[in-house]
């Protein structure tokens, strides 16, 4: 009697996006003041820069990219908006990790001292360059690269991965859950743009010149922590899926390697 062919590990289902979103809101509400304090500190230099620009008749608007302000806008986008997003995701990673492992959550100042700044900034730039190159070849490649690298920041902080390898590690985690992660990236973009558009339209109605940069600062401080938390929760969901796949594979290997029944 011939032996049955060896069976491979059952495929692991993609992550549940609904659970990721629910956990993101739960952690964000639970640690609202912790994340808001970090966000307020991180966004403060940009608010001061914008207020100083208003005081000297210089307009700095991160939502309206003008060719004449290329250098200033690139600096603002790379140094402030993208870095703050990654830092908030890193802070959120610490929160989720403390919840999972029972570790004590560091104070905001202690957290900022332990951030691997060079690796995080370098990985962020590598990721954004990849997205930018993808966007040059129509929108779809850029969106795909953005989806692959969405958890680059948490990978650097949680795993200590080198900057040049972090986007590839992020892609490895996303593999097998591309569709829900792509929906996550799309929803984050839509919600962020909607908030930015509505807030910008309301702030334009205010007569004071200082009102718009001040309002933008408040909007950033209140909304960006939620996106950072969602990225961190997404990372841990992807890591758990990877561990489940490895356990299933390890469990099935002895049966595949064992002797055939006589």
Q: Token pair of 143, please?
A: 């969106």
Where is average pLDDT lowest: 57-66, 98-107, 200-209, 234-243? 57-66
CB atoms within 10 A of CB 37: 16
Q: Are the beta carbons of 185 and 150 closer than 8 angstroms?
A: yes
At residue 109, the pLDDT reads 76
* Whether the predicted pLDDT of 258 surpasses 70: no
The DSSP letter of residue 209 is T
Count of residues making up the chain: 262
With a CB cutoff of 8 Å and minimum separation 6, the contacts of 185 are 143, 146, 147, 150
At residue 115, the pLDDT reads 76
Q: Are the beta carbons of 37 and 108 closer than 8 angstroms?
A: yes
Cα distances from 193 to residues 148, 152, 171, in angstroms, run 21, 22, 25
Q: Token pair of 141, please?
A: 């490649």
At residue 24 the predicted structure's pLDDT band, cuts being 50, 70 and 90, is: very high
Q: Token pair of 70, please?
A: 């290329």
Q: Are the beta carbons of 178 and 188 closer than 8 angstroms?
A: no
- Rounded Cα–Cα distance for residues 87 and 120 (Å): 8
**What average pLDDT is seen over the chain?**
78
Q: Are the beta carbons of 89 and 232 closer than 8 angstroms?
A: yes
In the block, residue with structure tokens 């959550």: 105
- Better pLDDT: 127 or 63: 127
Q: At what angle are helices 32-55 and 83-101 packed, to 10 degrees?
A: 170
Where is average pLDDT lowest: 29-33, 185-189, 256-260? 256-260
Task: Please give the model's pTM, rounded to 2 decimal places.
Answer: 0.77
- DSSP assignment string, 64-84: S--GGGHHHHHHIIIIIIIHH
């Amino acid at each position: 009697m011939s032996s049955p062919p060896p069976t491979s590990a059952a495929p692991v289902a993609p992550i549940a996006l609904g659970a990721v979103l629910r956990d993101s809101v739960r952690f964000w509400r639970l640690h609202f003041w912790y994340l808001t304090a970090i966000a307020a500190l991180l966004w403060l230099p940009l608010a001061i820069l914008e207020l100083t620009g208003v005081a000297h008749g210089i307009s700095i608007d991160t939502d309206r990219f003008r060719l004449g302000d290329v250098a200033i806008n690139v600096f603002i986008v790379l140094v402030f908006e993208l870095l703050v997003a990654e830092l908030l995701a890193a802070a959120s990673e610490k929160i989720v990790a403390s919840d999972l492992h029972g570790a004590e959550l560091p104070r905001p100042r202690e957290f900022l001292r332990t951030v691997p700044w060079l690796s995080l900034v370098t990985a962020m730039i590598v990721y954004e360059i990849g997205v930018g190159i993808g966007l040059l070849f129509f929108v779809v490649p850029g969106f795909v690269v953005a989806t692959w690298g969405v958890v680059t920041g948490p990978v650097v902080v949680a795993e200590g991965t080198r900057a040049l390898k972090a986007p590839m590690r992020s892609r490895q985690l996303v593999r097998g859950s591309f569709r829900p992660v792509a929906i996550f990236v799309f929803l984050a973009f839509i919600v962020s743009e909607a908030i930015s558009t509505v807030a910008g339209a309301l702030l334009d109605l205010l007569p004071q010149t200082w009102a718009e940069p001040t309002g933008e600062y408040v909007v950033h401080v209140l909304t960006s922590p939620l996106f950072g938390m969602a990225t961190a929760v997404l990372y841990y969901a992807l890591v758990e899926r990877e561990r489940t796949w490895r356990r299933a594979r390890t469990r099935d290997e002895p049966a595949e390697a064992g002797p055939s029944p006589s």
